[in-house]
Structure 1
Amino acid sequence: MKKSKVIMLVAILATLASVLMACNKPSSTEKEPETIETREFETAKGVVEIPSKPLRIVTDFYGGELLSVGANVIGVEPTAFDNPFIKDLLKDAVEIGQPVNVEKVLELEPDLIVVMYDENYEQLSEIAPTIHIPYGTATNIQETVKIFEDITGNHEEAAQFISKFDQKAKEGREKLAGIIAADATFGLYELTDKGDLWIFGDNAGRGGQALYNALELNMPHENSTAEQTLQLSMEVLPEYAADYMFLTAYDPEKRGEALNALKDSPIWQGLDAMKNNQVFYNDFDTYYRYDPIAIYEQIDLFVDMLIDRSKENQTK
């Protein structure tokens, strides 16, 4: 009798164990927690552990850089949506303010944040791994793409972009061969609404990477890559004048007063580039941009305007 009770007790315990195991086992409809693979990334703030393949990225001023390597940008600062070269690629992205609005970023649930400015770095770091890349970290488009290739892990997309860029640059140089003199100089200038005049090097926007890196055109001899921006007085402008001069005007209110005053200046009118019809007045928003996608598109813009102006001058 005792033996049969023991057998019955064992059977009951076995049944209970089976029931408990069944209760603890995830159902076929339940998802097991995903394991996100991470890696260490060296930044200006030290080593940060980031996703090996980030899928939801928020940034302040690096929207174009991330898009050039095929990243998914879900949030970006406001002026990115005015960038003619990437605004269509940002149709599903959210504007996060400038400075970055931490609450907006939190709502987006990013798995990576990449910033140029670090005002809210500590707060952002509590939301997701945050990488700080100060302005001017890269000196050319190749370095820029490599940085964002490393951040995203999108090696194939980065290689494709650089290959496409190199081909576009090569085609541009071939189109200009015979159109411009080999020793001709090309200068990038900007006029502010306050009348201040600046000259730019090869890594400060305004088309510098397209003009000097991709098309390999010559800077004015007084300028150098070491001096990316230099304010000029009208008196010294002739010393920095190039054979071909490209001018953008920063004029948010579109008043045009400073530009009209410059055009009427005897010094401006006396420049060789003006006399030879080799001055170009370019749209600020188009040429201010310096992300890889903008640089890629600016190559054709410069090539086309130089070819068109050459044809125009030949018919005179």
Structure 2
Amino acid sequence: MKKLLFLFGCLLCLIVIGCSNQSDGKQNNAGKEGSDKTVTYESEQGPVEIPADPQRIVALTNGPNVFALDGNLVGVDEWTKANPLFEEGMADVEVVSENDPESILALEPDLIIAGSHMENLDELEKIAPTVIYTWGKLDYLEQQLEIGKLLNKEEKAEEWIDDFSKRAKADGEKIKEKHGEDVSVSVFETDSKNFSVFGDNWARGTEILYQAMELGMPEKVQEDALAEGYYSLSLETLPEYAGDFIVLSKMGANNEFTKSETWKSIPAVENGQVIEFDTKEATYSDPVTLEHLLKIFEEGFLK
């Protein structure tokens, strides 16, 4: 009888263990299914099946937009990596290029973001689902919203857009109250030898100044830079394009041009109404960059 009870007990244990393992197996499979869930993203090139929650993103373009939404970046382009604003946050992110698909493959991405102008797009699509954007097709706010949709973080993107737009517009109103409704601003960039002036959608804070704040643009800038986005100048012609304020995007530390009589004679320079920043920190129009520039503009225009 004791032997029979012992055998029955062993059989019962085996049944319990088997059920437990089956249950664990179902849980593990469920977890795997959850991580493998995909959604269809309507890209400008058509529908693309992408991970619902991408964990290894290679951003050959729009890396800063992804970073601003806490996307899981594993690879970015060299320009994004070199930007001082992202140096700390992207310390462990690799530099990759569309011209070296093997370096991208090695990162085992589950989502790739690329530009329509790039090469080897067919090769990238073989590595992972690839979403392609055309630079300038969307404005700076629409682009952030689109990245939000891509990462299943649309609500977070919308919240930032609404908040930032209100704050920038309010700052614009304060600037006009202080300096006049018709106050104008020019955005110049220089490496001390070459000069450019920008329109209203070429980064360097132009979207904030002209679109969000609705500040004035000098007539000559409208004529020559608005359509193309930028216009190349010489030092001698800078005064013709200068507004009441000058925003100066500087490449490098050579400031010899500031010693010239041409520069010194510009009214904005004489009045101490020049706002400067490093070009490396201003070549994108993502939330991190825009917040950084907004603080600079608040200080420069209002304090």
Q: TM-score normalized by structure 2?
A: 0.80
Matched residue SS, 1:80:
helix
Asked if 2 retains the 8 angstrom alpha-carbon contact of 1:210 and 1:296, the reply is no
Asked if 2 retains the 8 angstrom alpha-carbon contact of 1:70 and 1:157, the reply is no
Aligned to 2:10: none
Matched residue SS, 1:178:
helix
Aligned to 1:196: 194
Aligned to 1:185: 184
Structure 2 residue aligned with 1:283, among 268, 278, 284? 278
Matches within 5 A, 1:223-234: 223-224=221-222, 225-234=226-235
Q: What is the RMSD computed on CA atoms of the aligned residues?
A: 2.6
Cα distance in 2 between the residues matched to 1:150 and 1:204:
24
Structure 1 residue aligned with 2:302, among 304, 307, 310? 307
- Where in structure 2 are there 5+ consecutive unaligned residues? 1-17
Change (3 A) 1:68 1:80: same
1:112 pairs with 2:111: yes
Deviation track 1:71-93 (CA, whole Å, cap 9, x = no partner) reads 222221233233343334324x4
Q: Which amino acid aligns with 1:87?
A: E
Cα shift at 1:146:
2.1
Change (3 A) 1:248 1:41: same
Aligned to 2:15: none
1:248 pairs with 2:232: no
Which structure dedicates a bigger proportion of its chain to helix? 2
Aligned to 1:221: 219
Cα shift at 1:245:
0.8
Cα distance in 2 between the residues matched to 1:97 and 1:110:
12
1:207 pairs with 2:208: no
Cα shift at 1:188:
0.4
Cα distance in 2 between the residues matched to 1:178 and 1:49:
50
- Where in structure 1 are there 5+ consecutive unaligned residues? 1-21, 309-316
Cα distance in 2 between the residues matched to 1:40 and 1:277:
49
State the identity %: 29
Cα shift at 1:221:
1.9
Asked if 1 retains the 8 angstrom alpha-carbon contact of 2:112 and 2:128, the reply is yes
Cα distance in 1 between the residues matched to 2:239 and 2:131:
43
Q: Which amino acid aligns with 2:141?
A: Q
Asked if 1 retains the 8 angstrom alpha-carbon contact of 2:38 and 2:49, the reply is no
Cα shift at 1:40:
4.4
Aligned to 1:7: none
Cα distance in 1 between the residues matched to 2:283 and 2:39:
36
Count of paired positions: 275
Cα distance in 2 between the residues matched to 1:75 and 1:118:
16
Asked if 1 retains the 8 angstrom alpha-carbon contact of 2:43 and 2:132, the reply is no
Cα distance in 2 between the residues matched to 1:89 and 1:174:
33
Aligned to 1:74: 74
Aligned to 2:291: 296
Aligned to 1:236: 237
Cα shift at 1:187:
0.4
The farther-off stretch of 291-300 and 233-242 is 233-242
Q: Which amino acid aligns with 2:182?
A: D
Asked if 2 retains the 8 angstrom alpha-carbon contact of 1:83 and 1:289, the reply is no
